[in-house]
A and B are shown apart, each in its own frame.
Chain A
Amino acid sequence: MSESNYAFGAPTIPIGGPSFDAGMRRLPVYLVLDCSGSMTGAPIEAVRQGMKTLLGELKSDPQALETVFLSVITFDTTARQVVPLTELMLVKEPPFEATGTTALGAALKLLSECIDREVRPTTPTQKGDWKPLIFLMTDGAPTDKWMDAADAIKSKKPGNLIACAAGAQADEEMLKRITNIVVKLHDLQPEALKQFFQWVSASVATTSTGVANRGDAPVALPPPPPEIIIVP
């Protein structure tokens, strides 16, 4: 008798195996996180914990598991993609170290390159990815030439970008140059950062279910907790 590989006609494919479902779109999620020296101590630890919680919550949400692919970009004096766009279940927590200055411009340029390279466009023969969901968090003023990169991102609109000004030193007006959706955390206390990551995870979970609801309308984010203020 033959060994059965079939249940419901769908083969059992090892995790990370080839995509077998042509109709399944991916929701790319990019986290762009500031790891400059000013994050040293409790804030960077809160980012580590926040990332852990975020992955834990999303990895047990069926809609997120089905569609979300996650990437993490960190920036200090330079910017690097520490997690390339990866199927959610396979994402491991990247290491976070606080050091150096705040190369926001480099981070935005890298984000744009990563999206161009990793996000599949819709073509006549291919179901492309959903519009990416991007969360950018920074705690201070940029130290590099960031304005051109900000203008480029804002005009290109590669996805739904939510920028978070974290702590007293962050400049939310500056972030408005990148995107219209800016939120503010008043401090860098672990509780505030924890709330931020929980809100990100709730936003991703909501988007992964409701993504097709209203064509090109802006994403409907869940209301943020009191620690997060939406900058009008």
Chain B
Amino acid sequence: MANKLLTATLEDGSTIQYDPEVIGEGGMKRVHFTPDRKSVVCFFKDASVGADPQRRARLQSIVGLFNPTTDSEVGAYWRELFCWPTGIVTKPELGVVAPTYAANFFFAQEPFKGKEKQASWFTSPKLRRFLPPQELGDWRRYIHISTRLARAVRRMHLAGLAHSDLSNRNVLIDPQTGTAVIIDIDSLVVPRIYPPDVLGTPGYIAPEVLTTQDLELTDPNRNLPSMLTDRHALAVLIYEYLLGRHPLRGPKVNSTQSAEEDERLSMGERALWIENPNDTSNRPKDPNYMHAPYTVTGPYLAPLFVRAFVEGLHNPDARPDAGEWERALVKTTDLLYPCPNPNCLSRWFAFESTHKQCPWCDTVINEQVAVLHFYREGNRGQFKNDNARLVVYHHQRLFAWHIYDNQYAGERADRTPKAYFALQNGHCWLVNQSNEPMVVVAGSHIANKLLPLSEGEVLRNGSQIRLARAAHGRLAVVQMV
């Protein structure tokens, strides 16, 4: 028998119905479904939280002023990345209305049917064993997940908001589709309006927060969650997604007094990256566990891990910001190459010209691979290396952000393919799909051969192709590896 519905009043005076049954309970909130199950109504468990006028001011600024999901142009994009509250409940007590997470963030099948897809299911080697293989996703999906997360954090930080509790629990991921959603937005730290409620989740709390946790909240030396600590949590999450292990959990024992004291030091004051190149004392001994070092993430991401976990681990200002992670991830997407081994579980890897081998299953790549190096036009006729390249495989696509040096694969990007690549009879073809002609500047029998819509050209080592003649059109130089 259906429960009798209850009614909540929102701040704007409208009402919403909800089911009295509590479907979930977090650290701070009780959660109820609306009858259509498209939204949830959440109340604060602690009555004093609900009565606090500052809490209400915080919620107002989160739902209103700082809300990226109501933007008329890109709001829909952000609604996929954030479970952002849509309204404030004032009666029967203070609460929020938020959209339900998309169905793909819950397991559809046994043994974990209905459970939220918290990241730990996928990043813990132990838990991965329990999942159906189709849930695990391939490495390209983890690059996509990481990109979306970095982009979402970049957007939050741009608005001046810190999440303050980014963790494996507050980011749901779906490796089948490569999507991620940030949940628990209502405890965001709004600068100057409301300080953080929580220290964070173990494993994701920045070392400086743990080191100073015993100081009084008012002590100027006390470090609380902030955008700088979000940067630490973001780096930990990306490392876990891409390498399937935690960056700081290694064998080094920092205290024999108790496990709890050892943990506090190992995650805080004496935190040491398991892959620190200068100090290997925390490096796990199992060679299988460390089979793929962080350098397999490629030339854009690897230096960021060094900055996050060597220079920035105990020096928050040195940590890469979310925008840097996002740009490095976007560029790494262009290095992805499919592993030819049908049994390779990761299936994609970041291709390196000097080492043609899948880092996950060690399969050697024998075929020739075309790599496009992008150049931007400086002074008339002068082209400068753009430090960006695209690794080509069968049915790889070329997008506007490859063609123009002033376009970016972000939330506003034009996502229609402008050209595709195809392998045929041992040749690699580039076929234009846009109305803007390309020009084969070098490498063709015809000088400055035009490639209009639907025309193709075989890529050769040293070929040069102007991808668009318009301003900001890049030049691609082909390297056959």
Residues of A in contact with B (beta carbons under 8 Å apart): 1-15, 20-25, 59-60, 62-63, 65-66, 89, 122-131, 209-216
A124 touching B258, Cβ below 8 Å = no
- Bound CA–CA A12/B243 (angstroms): 14
A60 touching B260, Cβ below 8 Å = no
Besides the known contacts A9-B289, A22-B286, 6 further A-B residue pairs in the complex with CB atoms under 8 A apart: A2-B362, A9-B245, A122-B259, A125-B251, A129-B259, A209-B169
Check: B126 CB closer than 8 A to any chain A CB.
Answer: yes
A122 touching B125, Cβ below 8 Å = no
Q: Which one of A5, A60, A124, A213 lies within 8 Å of B115 (CB-CB)? A: A60
| Most chain B CB inside 10 Å of its own CB: which residue of A9, A14, A59 | A9
How many chain B residues touch A (CB < 8 A): the figure is 62
Q: Which residue of chain B lies nearest to A12 when distances are taken between CB atoms in the complex?
A: B129
Check: B101 CB closer than 8 A to any chain A CB.
Answer: no
Q: Which one of A1, A65, A89 lies within 8 Å of B342 (CB-CB)? A: A1
| CB neighbours of A22 from chain B (8 A) | 250-251, 284-286, 289
- Bound CA–CA A22/B121 (angstroms): 19
Q: Which residue of chain B lies nearest to A129 when distances are taken between CB atoms in the complex?
A: B259
A7 touching B360, Cβ below 8 Å = yes
Check: B361 CB closer than 8 A to any chain A CB.
Answer: yes
| CB neighbours of B285 from chain A (8 A) | 22
Residues of B in contact with A (beta carbons under 8 Å apart): 111-112, 115, 118, 120-121, 124-130, 136, 139, 169, 199, 201-203, 213, 242-246, 249-251, 253, 255-264, 267, 274, 284-286, 288-292, 340-346, 359-363
A66 touching B345, Cβ below 8 Å = no
B284 touching A212, Cβ below 8 Å = no
With A1-B340, A22-B286, A211-B202: A60-B112 Cβ-Cβ less than 8 Å: yes
| CB neighbours of B291 from chain A (8 A) | 6, 9-11
Min Cβ gap B270→A in Å is: 14
B260 touching A216, Cβ below 8 Å = yes
A-B contact pairs, 29 of them (CB 8 A): A1-B341, A1-B363, A2-B343, A2-B361, A4-B344, A4-B345, A7-B346, A8-B245, A9-B243, A9-B244, A9-B290, A9-B359, A10-B289, A21-B245, A22-B286, A23-B250, A23-B284, A24-B249, A60-B111, A62-B120, A62-B127, A63-B120, A66-B127, A122-B258, A124-B256, A131-B260, A209-B201, A211-B260, A214-B213
B261 touching A216, Cβ below 8 Å = yes
- Bound CA–CA A21/B246 (angstroms): 10
With A2-B362, A123-B253, A215-B261: A8-B243 Cβ-Cβ less than 8 Å: yes
Q: Which one of B126, B261, B262 lies within 8 Å of A127 (CB-CB)? A: B262
- Bound CA–CA A12/B342 (angstroms): 16
B343 touching A10, Cβ below 8 Å = no
Q: Which residue of chain A lies nearest to B274 when distances are taken between CB atoms in the complex?
A: A23
- Bound CA–CA A63/B127 (angstroms): 9
| CB neighbours of A6 from chain B (8 A) | 288, 291-292, 344-346, 360-361
Q: Which residue of chain B lies nearest to A26 when distances are taken between CB atoms in the complex?
A: B259
A210 touching B202, Cβ below 8 Å = yes
Min Cβ gap A88→B in Å is: 10
| CB neighbours of A60 from chain B (8 A) | 111-112, 115
With A22-B250, A123-B256: A4-B118 Cβ-Cβ less than 8 Å: no
Q: Which one of B112, B263, B361, B363 lies within 8 Å of A212 (CB-CB)? A: B263
- Bound CA–CA A62/B288 (angstroms): 23
- Bound CA–CA A79/B199 (angstroms): 42
With A1-B343, A66-B124, A66-B127: A8-B262 Cβ-Cβ less than 8 Å: no
Q: Which one of A65, A209, A215 lies within 8 Å of B126 (CB-CB)? A: A65
- Bound CA–CA A127/B363 (angstroms): 35
B284 touching A2, Cβ below 8 Å = no
Min Cβ gap A134→B in Å is: 16
| Most chain A CB inside 10 Å of its own CB: which residue of B118, B202, B274 | B202
- Bound CA–CA A66/B158 (angstroms): 35
With A1-B343, A4-B344, A62-B124: A126-B360 Cβ-Cβ less than 8 Å: no
Min Cβ gap A116→B in Å is: 16
Min Cβ gap B174→A in Å is: 15
| CB neighbours of B125 from chain A (8 A) | 8, 10-11, 13, 20-21
Q: Which residue of chain A lies nearest to B199 when distances are taken between CB atoms in the complex?
A: A213
| CB neighbours of A128 from chain B (8 A) | 259, 262
Min Cβ gap A51→B in Å is: 18
- Bound CA–CA A209/B129 (angstroms): 20
| CB neighbours of A20 from chain B (8 A) | 125, 286, 288-289
With A21-B126, A215-B264: A10-B258 Cβ-Cβ less than 8 Å: no
- Bound CA–CA A6/B349 (angstroms): 13
| CB neighbours of A23 from chain B (8 A) | 246, 249-251, 274, 284
- Bound CA–CA A14/B242 (angstroms): 22
| CB neighbours of A14 from chain B (8 A) | 129
| CB neighbours of B263 from chain A (8 A) | 25, 211-212
- Bound CA–CA A227/B58 (angstroms): 36
| CB neighbours of B362 from chain A (8 A) | 2
B202 touching A209, Cβ below 8 Å = yes
- Bound CA–CA A124/B244 (angstroms): 26
Q: Which residue of chain A lies nearest to B262 when distances are taken between CB atoms in the complex?
A: A122
- Bound CA–CA A13/B262 (angstroms): 28
| CB neighbours of B242 from chain A (8 A) | 8
A2 touching B363, Cβ below 8 Å = yes
B120 touching A130, Cβ below 8 Å = no
With A7-B360, A9-B292, A10-B244: A125-B253 Cβ-Cβ less than 8 Å: yes
| CB neighbours of B343 from chain A (8 A) | 1-4
